[in-house]
């Protein structure tokens, strides 16, 4: 049977969106589902490389431009929107092509992660305890309460320890009961194809892309977003966070562009490490033209 879903992953500037669009246009029965934590925001098009109006006219796109920039968007909200989108695609008799580089969102889409809630007051208290007592004390507490979760968490990882204890106190459920964790890769019916570049070549592609975004009006777009009181998550968007600092007088434009390039390169390395840990992804080494080099692979795995 033909797999119901296909996912194209890779670092920023790897060309995955161009590959997905070309494949969806060629097939004619496929919708593109964005798996990007920042393309959900309206008005943040240039810096997030949101598909253009012409591209959206060629192929139906989902999970882009969902909310205003003042909304605190979460992976739980993404999952809700994803279920609605996938149901609609299935009812229409079409297939879903997942495309994006947000690692946690991708795992939520592929593996249907069961997510615990958040309890800010409990977290704040635990963070204070971490600062006062150290991670070893929190680790010993977690080991008594939830040995399975403690076995998965490094005793020095204060952030993860706080999260595990927050979930236990807030929900009354063990942190380990919410699933095997991100370090496990269960069987999935989603076929996953990854684009992989030589790191030095990708770095040059990132630099060209950032300069193209600035030339296309990123400064003015960031100014409009800043005037709309962006949420914490929107403010953290790569490219915008640096531009906001520039607009607030902290850095010159040249310094800002250089920072965006450097931060994007570091982000691409983190993306690459995240996806490479997943043994279920079929990797394609791209040398020059991602569409020409990856499209035959997608045809082969998806029929």
Shortest CA distance to 106 belongs to which of 283, 298, 278?
278
CA 72 to each of CA 40, 66, 101, 228: distance values in angstroms, whole numbers, following the listed order: 11, 12, 19, 13
Residue 190: strand pairing partners: 5
Residue 1 has a pLDDT of 36
Stretch 167-184: mean pLDDT: 84
Name the residue with tokens 């992804």.
Answer: 281
Closest by alpha carbon to 286, among 181, 205, 191, 186?
205
- Show the tokens assigned to 24: 């969806």
Query: What is the reported pLDDT for 126?
Result: 96
Question: Which is higher by pLDDT, 164 or 179?
Answer: 164
261 Cβ neighbours under 8 A, 6+ residues apart: 206, 207, 210
Please state, in angstroms and rounded to a whole number, the distance separating the CA atoms of residues 291 and 220.
31
d(CA 103, CA 92): 28
18 pLDDT more than 90: yes
% pLDDT > 70, the chain: 97
pLDDT at 16 over 80: yes
Q: Kindly write down the DSSP assignment for every residue of 114-148, as one continuous string.
A: PPP---HHHHHHHHHHHHHH-HHHHHHHHHHH-HH
**123-149 pLDDT per residue, tens:** 999 999 999 999 999 999 999 999 999
Q: What is the pLDDT of residue 197?
A: 97
Single pTM value for the model: 0.84
pLDDT band at 4 (very low <50, low <70, confident <90, very high): low
Q: How confident is the model at residue 2 (pLDDT cuts 50, 70, 90)?
A: very low
pLDDT tens-digit series, residues 188-223: 989 999 999 999 999 999 999 999 999 999 999 999
Domains, in order of start, for the chain: 5-114+184-302 (3.40.50.300), 120-178 (1.10.20.140)
Summarize pLDDT for 110-125 with one digit per residue, the tens: 988 777 778 889 999 9
Region 31-56 average pLDDT: 97
Q: What pLDDT sits at residue 182? A: 76
pLDDT at 24: 97
Give the pLDDT band of residue 180 (cuts 50, 70, 90): low
Mean pLDDT, range 180-190, rounded to an integer: 82
- DSSP state for residue 176 in the 8-state scheme: G
Strands, E assignment, 103-224: 190-196
Q: At residue 245, does pLDDT exceed 70?
A: yes
pLDDT of residue 302: 85
Q: Using 50, 70 and 90 to split pLDDT, how confident is the model at 3?
A: very low
* Arithmetic mean of pLDDT over the chain: 93
Residue 231 C-alpha from the chain's centroid? 17
């Amino acid at each position: 049977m033909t797999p119901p879903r296909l996912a194209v992953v890779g670092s920023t500037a790897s060309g995955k969106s161009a590959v997905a669009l070309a494949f969806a246009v060629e097939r004619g029965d496929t919708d593109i589902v964005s798996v990007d934590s920042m393309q959900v925001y309206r008005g943040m098009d240039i810096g997030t490389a949101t598909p253009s109006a012409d591209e959206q006219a060629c192929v139906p796109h989902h999970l882009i431009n969902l909310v205003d920039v003042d909304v605190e968007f979460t992976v739980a909200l993404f999952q809700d929107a994803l279920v609605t989108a996938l149901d609609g695609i299935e009812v229409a008799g079409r297939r879903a092509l997942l495309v994006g580089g947000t690692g946690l969102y991708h795992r939520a889409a592929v593996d249907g992660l069961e997510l615990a809630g958040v309890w800010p007051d409990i977290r704040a208290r635990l963070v204070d305890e971490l600062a006062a007592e150290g991670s070893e004390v929190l680790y010993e507490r977690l080991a008594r309460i939830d040995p399975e979760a403690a076995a998965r968490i490094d005793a020095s990882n204060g952030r993860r320890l706080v999260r595990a204890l927050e979930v236990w106190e807030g929900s009354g459920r063990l942190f380990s009961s919410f699933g095997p964790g991100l370090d496990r890769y269960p069987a999935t019916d989603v076929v996953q194809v990854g684009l992989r570049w030589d790191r030095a070549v990708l770095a040059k592609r990132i630099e060209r892309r950032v300069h193209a975004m600035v030339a296309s009006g990123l400064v003015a777009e960031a100014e409009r977003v800043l005037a709309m009181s962006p949420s914490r998550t929107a403010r953290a968007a790569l490219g915008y966070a640096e531009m906001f600092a520039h607009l607030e007088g902290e850095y010159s434009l040249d310094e800002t562009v250089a920072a965006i390039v450097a931060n994007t390169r570091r982000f691409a390395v983190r993306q690459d490490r995240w996806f490479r840990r997943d043994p279920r992804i079929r990797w394609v080494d791209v040398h020059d033209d991602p569409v020409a080099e990856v499209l035959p692979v997608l045809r082969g795995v998806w029929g």
